[in-house]
Amino acid sequence: MTEHAITMRAVNKYYGAFHALVDIDLTVERGERVVICGPSGSGKSTLIRTINQLEAIQSGQIVVDGIALSGGDNVAKVRQEVGMVFQSFNLFPHMTVLENCMLAPMKSRKIPRAEAKATARQYLDRVKIPEQADKYPAQLSGGQQQRVAIARALCMKPRIMLFDEPTSALDPEMVKEVLDTMIDLAREGMTMLCVTHEMEFARAVADRVIFMDKGVIVEENPPEAFFGNPQNERLQNFLGQIA
């Protein structure tokens, strides 16, 4: 395995005059679990959104699963290999849970309906809500909706999963069910990049924790060193605030 899962080299992103990502260098290995944290506006969401090009970059290079992110065809290929889970779930409200999970495999991967349905049921089973398959998203709790969103992304059989603050919009009692689902996924060896403030999750599954501030990767370390011996003053402040 010579290839990295994700390589970012000297990536810069601007919103007008605002410099959102500053010379980002980041390598994620296959099977690695990386947690990204930092204050709001630090660029952590922007960073993971450049990996499937929901956000375009102005300079630098991104290679995902051996595919360079440049040109239309490559972007589509990368998106097939990269699943994403959003803070606000973004389930399709006019489709049932099952249809939510079947749409992309059928349209993007051209998988036959019967097979897509079987795969969808399998993943709904894995996120422990097989009985909700025929309901509409609005009939589910927040935690259930987010688990459907995870299943929907997994149905594309991605090699990498991106999580953008997946528990931030949830009521406290629903955070655990979503985190448990993510922990299961991590244990199965999925490559994961996760923007979150759930430090318990970081401690439990992360191989590496990254701290961002003002568009810069300030510090990155395995969880023990990251939490036990933070070097940077801004990180020390940040950990003090969320603890």
Chain positions contacting other proteins, by CB under 8 A = 52, 54, 76, 79-80, 82-84, 86, 88, 90-94, 103-104, 107-109, 138, 149, 152-153, 156
For residue 143, what are the CA distances in angstroms to 11, 150, 157, 173, 178?
34, 11, 22, 9, 6
Nearest distance, CB of residue 6 and other proteins, angstroms: 15
Q: In what order do the strands lie in the sheet containing 59-64? A: 18-28, 6-15, 59-64, 67-68
Nearest distance, CB of residue 118 and other proteins, angstroms: 18
Closer CB to other proteins, 32 or 81, in the complex:
81
Closer CB to other proteins, 48 or 202, in the complex:
48
Nearest distance, CB of residue 178 and other proteins, angstroms: 17
Q: Tokens 């980002």 appear where?
A: 24
Closer CB to other proteins, 84 or 202, in the complex:
84
Nearest distance, CB of residue 233 and other proteins, angstroms: 35
| Ramachandran assignment for 85, one of left (phi > 0), alpha (psi -120 to 50 degrees), beta (any other) | beta
- The token pair at 131 is 């009985």
Closer CB to other proteins, 109 or 203, in the complex:
109
Burial class of residue 203 (count of CB atoms within 10 Å of its CB; 0-12, 13-18, 19+): middle
Nearest distance, CB of residue 158 and other proteins, angstroms: 9
| 192 in Cβ contact with 185 (< 8 Å) | yes
Q: How many CB atoms are closer than 10 A to CB 71? A: 9
Q: In what order do the strands lie in the sheet containing 33-37? A: 82-85, 160-164, 191-195, 33-37, 208-213, 216-221
Closer CB to other proteins, 4 or 49, in the complex:
49
Nearest distance, CB of residue 94 and other proteins, angstroms: 5
CB contact set of 86 (below 8 Å; sequence gap of 6+): 149, 164, 166
Closer CB to other proteins, 194 or 218, in the complex:
194
- The token pair at 178 is 């979503």
